[in-house]
Amino acid sequence: MAQSAPLILRLLASSVTAATRAGKIIKDVMTKGELGIVEKGLEKNDVQTEADRSAQRCIVASLSKQFPDVTIIGEEGQLSESDVPSDWIVTESDQSVLSANCPPSFVNTVPEDIVVWVDPLDGTSEYTEGLLDHVTVLIGVAVSGRAVGGVIHQPYYNYKTVPDTPGRTLWGLVGAGVGGFNPIDPPQDKFIITTSRSHRDGMVSNALKSLNPDDVISVGGAGHKVLVVLEGRAHAYVYASRGCKKWDTCAPEAILEASGGRLTDIHGKHYSYDKNVSFPDNQGIFATARTVDHDALVSKLPQEIKDAFPY
């Protein structure tokens, strides 16, 4: 039965299992306490830990074993695929994804149409600072350049009240809907925006001010901020900055859009997730819940802010 499901469902079903296994690795590294932090670039708050590296090796080894012809791009680049511990390689499929109704447009999708974007640990700064519920594992599935399928695993979901939390794993496929959670609409009597906690500059703040929110929720992680929108705690996620990359937005965009919301750049255009695109999301992020008029909100951003992020 499983083998007869369309490729996109089998890939997403395996991604749910791989993301969940990666989350366990992230928790094990934290429990052990040897984070192995290295600075990645010149930018502030751009670090990598043993958890980022190990989680990516788990996901890439698990998916490439089952889908050898699919292109997989991971944030941490090419890591050794040899000596991956055998219990990190998981090939089980999530049954709820396998039994979803595949949208007709994806029934005949072939491996060559697909790029998988992996952020093995989104919110690394927050992970190292102990803000553990900001951490997510992101696996995004792009078909013909569009972000259409996604998995967000939150290993520390509810960890403050549930000490041994298994976390939670959300998935979405545009045209099929979402699973693993129930989206909630944001309140109608207030307007709340979520944005970055650790990567802020004048432009990020000016963009927020121009939209005149009642409240701003500053939290870590692109995956986590989209969760804040999906949970109805914010109406929009706005980030007028170049710092996010395709692996940060592919899975969140797919899940948000599968729920009826939108995730675009600050001009209101979707990013391409083809294998040849440059990694940075150079035109920022503008995401909205399904009850928000996305284009109307985009049009409220001042032209001088938009002009600072040309194509």
Per CB under 6 A, residues contacting ligand AMP are 43, 46, 122-123, 196, 198-199, 220-222, 241, 243-244, 248
Nearest to ligand AMP of 91, 205 (CB atom): 205
Q: Is 270 exposed, middle or buried (0-12, 13-18, 19+ CB in 10 A)?
A: middle
Instruction: Using alpha carbons, select from 226, 205, 203, 154 the residue that is nearest to residue 305.
Output: 203
What is the full DSSP assignment across 110-134? -GGGEEEEEEEEE-HHHHHHT-GGG
Shortest distance, CB of residue 221 to ligand AMP, whole angstroms?
5
Shortest distance, CB of residue 233 to Mg ion, whole angstroms?
20
Q: How many residues in total does the chain contain?
A: 311
- Whether 75 and 119 have beta carbons less than 8 Å apart is answered as yes
Q: Which residue is nearest to Mg ion (CB)?
A: 122
Interatomic CA distance for residues 135 and 147, integer angstroms? 21
Nearest to ligand AMP of 84, 217 (CB atom): 217
- 124 among known catalytic residues: yes
Q: Which helix (H) or strand (E) holds 195?
A: strand 192-196
Position 231: which residue type? E
Shortest distance, CB of residue 76 to ligand AMP, whole angstroms?
12
Nearest to ligand AMP of 94, 248 (CB atom): 248
Choose among ligand AMP, Mg ion, none what residue 56 binds, the Cβ cut-off being 5 to 8 Å by kind.
none
Tokens of 205: 């703040």
Choose among ligand AMP, Mg ion, none what residue 51 binds, the Cβ cut-off being 5 to 8 Å by kind.
none
Interatomic CA distance for residues 310 and 267, integer angstroms? 9
Of 49, 52, 133, 248, the active-site residue reads 52
Choose among Mg ion, ligand AMP, none what residue 180 binds, the Cβ cut-off being 5 to 8 Å by kind.
none
- Between the CA of residue 297 and those of 28, 255, 261, 289, what are the distances in Å? 42, 20, 13, 11
Q: Which helix (H) or strand (E) holds 154?
A: strand 146-154
Binding site for Mg ion (CB under 5 A): 75, 119, 121-122, 248
Shortest distance, CB of residue 238 to ligand AMP, whole angstroms?
11
Helix (DSSP H) and strand (DSSP E) numbers for the chain: 9, 13
- 28 among known catalytic residues: no
Nearest to Mg ion of 128, 210 (CB atom): 128
- Whether 209 and 179 have beta carbons less than 8 Å apart is answered as no
- Whether 286 and 266 have beta carbons less than 8 Å apart is answered as yes
CA 119 to chain centre: 7
Shortest distance, CB of residue 251 to ligand AMP, whole angstroms?
12
Of 17, 49, 109, 124, the active-site residue reads 124
Nearest to ligand AMP of 84, 308 (CB atom): 308
Nearest to ligand AMP of 168, 200 (CB atom): 200
Shortest distance, CB of residue 126 to ligand AMP, whole angstroms?
7
Q: Which residues are catalytic?
A: 52, 124
